[in-house]
Amino acid sequence: AKRTPGTSLAMAEQRFVQMSRDTLATEQALRKGIRNHEFYLEYQPKIDAASGKLLGFEALARWFRPEVGQVSPVEFIAVAERTGLIGELGSSLLEQACCQIARWRSELGACVPVAVNVSPVQLLNPGFPQRVKALLEHTGIPAESLTLEITESAAVDNLEDTRQQLTVLEELGIKVAMDDFGTGFSSLSMLRQLPLSTVKVDRGLIEPLPAPDAVAVVRAICQLAAALDLEVVAEGIETLEQAITARDAGCHVFQGYFYAKPLAMAEAGAWMERLYAE
């Protein structure tokens, strides 16, 4: 059927109204979900490229909405950021991660490191470092067991504020990883200007491995990271071939479906019992 411009404009308008309505619905649902403790974490193993040992986990937010089902974090984190609910949600998730580290520590006798994603809005909140410090004290976990994963976009837009916040966190002994590196607005000098311990090479750069041009890019990132004394994590490893190529290019740590999907807390605990370094 042929559409007149008038019709397609009306349709666009309708879509816009629907989109705003969805956002609204999700914001209310988000508030309710936070109140009802519907948010929880899954834990994806991080593997040492040299030894195959478990090095720790990345905590990933999950939301099971009764009557709707599982909602993707890509979706609800964006709404939480837009509506300002990310502070409350992020604090709750960070607290869950620290409590889990403490629980594993007392149950299994080993302190397994966990990385938690922090949104730019959350990181740039002036009270954030103090809140993290209080959480460490409250749960009694060592600062070294916590890594915060931040994204480039935060740092690019507010380099000086980001640097200040990260400096306070670094002084507490917390590690910081630059997430999704190599996509978007990467600035190489940013790696030097921020107190980081880790760079995570984005899945988009790992996926085409072992294509020679992709290998060249990953190798260049690893060389830069080595010069700056940063650990390199390869994200989204799905095949053995990708793992071998990434290791040979200089990546130190693997994360991806080839090893494990994000796991429920109990499954992650079982991995720990089996694989965590003695």
Which residues of the chain form contacts with Ca ion (CB under 5 A)?
A: 117, 149, 179-180, 235
Element (H, E) at 142: none
Residue 230 contact, options Ca ion, ligand C2E, none, Cβ 5-8 Å cut-off depending on partner type: none
Q: Does 119 bind ligand C2E (CB under 6 A)?
A: yes
Tokens of 253: 């740590």
Element (H, E) at 71: strand 69-71
If the CB atoms of residues 183 and 239 are measured against Ca ion, the closer one turns out to be 183
| Residue choice 211, 257, 264, 277 for contact with ligand C2E (CB under 6 A) | 257
Q: Does 256 bind ligand C2E (CB under 6 A)?
A: yes
Q: Does 238 bind ligand C2E (CB under 6 A)?
A: yes
| Residue choice 180, 196, 221, 250 for contact with ligand C2E (CB under 6 A) | 180
Is residue 73 within 8 Å of 99, Cβ to Cβ?
no
Contacts (CB under 6 A) with ligand C2E, residues 4-43: none
Cα separation of 212 and 210, whole Å? 6
- The DSSP line for 149-187 is EEEHHHHHHTHHHHHHHHHHHHHHT-EEEEEEETSTT--
Minimum Å distance from CB 191 to ligand C2E?
A: 18
If the CB atoms of residues 3 and 261 are measured against ligand C2E, the closer one turns out to be 261
Q: Which residues pair with 62 in a beta bridge?
A: 40
Cα separation of 52 and 46, whole Å? 9
**For strand 231-234 and strand 198-201, is the pairing parallel, antiparallel, or unpaired?**
parallel
Q: Find the part of the chain contacting ligand C2E (CB under 6 A) among 7-15, 106-114, 160-168, 231-239.
A: 231-239
Q: Which of 233, 134, 127 is nearest to 176 (CA)?
A: 233
If the CB atoms of residues 26 and 119 are measured against ligand C2E, the closer one turns out to be 119
Minimum Å distance from CB 264 to ligand C2E?
A: 13
Q: Which residues contact 214 (CB under 8 A, 6 or more apart)?
A: 205, 206, 208
For the chain, how long is the longest CA-to-CA vector?
A: 70
Q: Which residues pair with 69 in a beta bridge?
A: 65
| Residue choice 93, 101, 225, 272 for contact with ligand C2E (CB under 6 A) | 93
Minimum Å distance from CB 153 to Ca ion?
A: 12
Q: Does 148 bind ligand C2E (CB under 6 A)?
A: no
If the CB atoms of residues 179 and 250 are measured against Ca ion, the closer one turns out to be 179
If the CB atoms of residues 23 and 183 are measured against ligand C2E, the closer one turns out to be 183
Tokens of 260: 């494990």
| Residue choice 26, 96, 100, 117 for contact with ligand C2E (CB under 6 A) | 117
Minimum Å distance from CB 167 to ligand C2E?
A: 21
Cα separation of 35 and 174, whole Å? 29
Tokens of 87: 């502070």
- By CB under 6 A, name the binding residues for ligand C2E: 44, 60-61, 72-74, 77, 93, 117-119, 149, 179-180, 203, 236-238, 255-257, 262
